Amino acid sequence: MLSDNDTLKLYMMNISKYPLVTPAEESILADKIAHGDTEARSKLIRSNLRLVVKIAHDFKGLGLPLLDLISEGNIGLMRAVEKFDPSKGAKLSSYAAWWIK
């Protein structure tokens, strides 16, 4: 059985394979998502999974296991991607931070 530390290392190795997107790509993907493109949604979510881990680390030691924080943060990221509107001038990472927390 894997320890939580081993599980986190495997997760980090897996999510590091997904490239970050540029602000221009982010805007294009958001437009596609608004028109129902599920592949664009998946790509935008995958490219921001490291943000969830970073934010989850900020809350480590407050009573919940880190892996649970990451799991809940991923749900917040999915919600943020659905509601994100780049025409309002914010980057997804700034907008998503509230949903992730």
Question: Tell me, what CATH number does 53's domain have?
Answer: 1.20.120.1810
Quote the pLDDT of residue 5. 81
Indicate whether 52 belongs to any domain: yes
Indicate whether 96 belongs to any domain: yes
Q: What is the domain count for the chain?
A: 1
Per-residue pLDDT of the chain (101 residues; tens, 9 = 90+): 767 788 899 999 999 999 999 999 999 999 999 999 999 999 999 999 999 999 999 988 888 899 999 999 999 999 999 999 999 989 999 999 999 99
Indicate whether 48 belongs to any domain: yes
The whole-model pTM stands at 0.91
Quote the pLDDT of residue 100. 96
Indicate whether 4 belongs to any domain: no
Token code pair at residue 22: 């540029």
Q: Are 65 and 11 in contact (CB under 8 A)?
A: no
Quote the pLDDT of residue 35. 96
